Amino acid sequence: MWEKLEALRAARAGRRISSLFETDPQRAQRFTVQTCGLLLDYCKTQLDDESRAALIDLAAEAGVAARARAMMGGACVNETEGRAALHTALRAPETAGAIRVAGEDVLPAVHATLRRMEDFARAVRGGSAGGPGGAYTDVLNIGIGGSDLGPAMAVQALKPYADGPRCHFVANIDGADLADTLAPLDPARTLVIVASKTFTTVETMTNARTARDWMARSVDRPAEQFAALSSAVDRTADFGIDDSRVFPFADWVGGRYSVWGPIGLSLMIAIGPERFREFLAGAHAMDRHFLEAEGADNMPLMMALVGIWHAQVCGYPTRAVLPYDQRLARLPAYLQQLEMESNGKGVAMDGTPLARPSCPVVWGAPGTNAQHAFMQLVHQGTQVVPCEFLVAARGHEPELVHHHRLLVANCLAQSEALMRGRTLDEARQMLAGRYEGQELERQARHRVFPGDRPSVTIAYPQLDPQMLGCILALYEHRVFAEGVILGLNSFDQWGVELGKELAKSVDSALSGSGIGASASTATLAAFLRGGGA
């Protein structure tokens, strides 16, 4: 099927995306999918009926649908770690029917923990749980990677719904992160949540110990103001956190897929348990859609196939995510982990080298800011960057609807401009009154836009908890489907291990007790150990 896709691409070389609208007046309807209130528009790509059908066949050959059923049914799909990948169980209603891992239904434990989180969140929000200074005014989540990016992104995304204590997030081992965050906080009114699946991650544990020391300087029993979110409950006890404030989760919840369970506690405290349930319900609706919708009606599948077309068939090495929604400012960073930690692999499930490029580099920033920064390259640079726009019909600022209209106009104008471009003739005509002769020619060439640059747009009514849940689950399943098509394991992350191991030996070098690194690293270590002189 790959050969067929490559042949289709070659056969269409030189055909412009805009011409597809001329030959098919129904294209705008036929190359969109709607579900759960979301609309995915992929008309502004080179996909046509034949290439779409071939891509759908590719997904069928790879067994995406069967693999999705296996994943959501609790099978051991994370084969290199010998585990299920059951984040979908965290958002399944209790009445959904048993989901078994090693013969045991996981839903009762998931919902028991969810209810404990809700009781705790209500107590924190209502003030019955607090510090010596009274009700908590601030919550500090200490975690990194999936134990940070999901809740940090979601708390910002759902700010209009946040009526609980203020939430802060510290991830980096750089003491500046913790110091700057702690500076305005009152230790007597701050709840510290240590979020770590393993409870061994050096950044998180170092920050957690420093935060405990900070609190101990003004509070008698600092451990009472700590909660833990982890799969390693023996280690949370060793840290001194009482079991009543430990919210456990199973090893089948991957870090980058964990915002739906205990790792989402800070979000639940921010927006309240009812809104958090709406967030889960939005994701569950997308799970059902992904399982049930077929072929071109399946939104995550179509997102995946457009991604495969661009990265693996056309060979475009990057993909830009451009939320025209300021509160999704952290979505690109969240998706970087979700997509690149999942599908940035060099070998297939059986250990053989991947036959195609792995997932593209994902990057991006909110619009319209991006337009005044890097969109120049996307419009006129020599490389093609497929773009993903996200935009809501409504904002949350009724008094600022004119801002929102301009935001939407800019979003739609970007994808239109990327597709349409501007020819040399058009540029000449535009400048004809200002320049002439050779200067006209020179100036006109600078104003040519090649166009034909692909993009998809995800549109939704408003960024509320349910919609955020839908969007994140859409991306999760897109990543999953791409991973199945590429034949790799989307649920391990061995590639982060080597750097962690070497950091230990370089740390020894910095403290002067030895070196296990190259001459380059040893020289840098000596310079830095000497204070940079």
Residues at the interface with ligand F6P (CB under 6 A): 144-147, 196-198, 201, 204, 255-256, 341, 493, 496
Position with the least CB separation from ligand F6P:
255
Strands of 98-173, DSSP E: 100-101, 104-105, 130-131, 134-135, 138-142, 166-170
Residue 19 CB-density burial (10 A; 0-12 exposed, 13-18 middle, 19+ buried): exposed
Cβ closer to ligand F6P: 202 or 377? 202
Coil, helix or strand at residue 200: coil
What are the backbone angles phi and psi of residue 460, rounded to the nearest 5°? -150, 160
Sequence-distant (≥ 6) Cβ neighbours of residue 233 within 8 angstroms: 243, 246, 248
> For 354, which DSSP code?
P
Q: Cis check for the bond before 368: say yes or no (omega within 30 of 0).
A: yes
Residue 128 CB-density burial (10 A; 0-12 exposed, 13-18 middle, 19+ buried): exposed
Cβ density class 398-422: b for 16+ within 10 Å, e for less: eeeeeebeebbebbeebbebbbbbb
Nearest distance from residue 198's CB to ligand F6P, in Å?
3
Nearest distance from residue 248's CB to ligand F6P, in Å?
13
Nearest distance from residue 178's CB to ligand F6P, in Å?
16
Cβ closer to ligand F6P: 197 or 275? 197
Nearest distance from residue 249's CB to ligand F6P, in Å?
10
Cβ closer to ligand F6P: 44 or 87? 87
Cβ closer to ligand F6P: 201 or 368? 201
- R_g (Cα) of the chain, nearest Å: 25
| Residue 351: other Cβ atoms inside 10 A | 7
Nearest distance from residue 221's CB to ligand F6P, in Å?
25
Nearest distance from residue 256's CB to ligand F6P, in Å?
6
Active site residue 500: yes
Catalytic residue among 104, 292, 397, 500: 500
Cβ closer to ligand F6P: 138 or 341? 341
Active site residue 372: yes
Cβ closer to ligand F6P: 141 or 312? 141
Catalytic residue among 203, 341, 388, 482: 341
Catalytic residue among 3, 372, 399, 497: 372
Sequence-distant (≥ 6) Cβ neighbours of residue 413 within 8 angstroms: none
Report, as residue numbers or ranges, the catalytic residues. Answer: 341, 372, 500
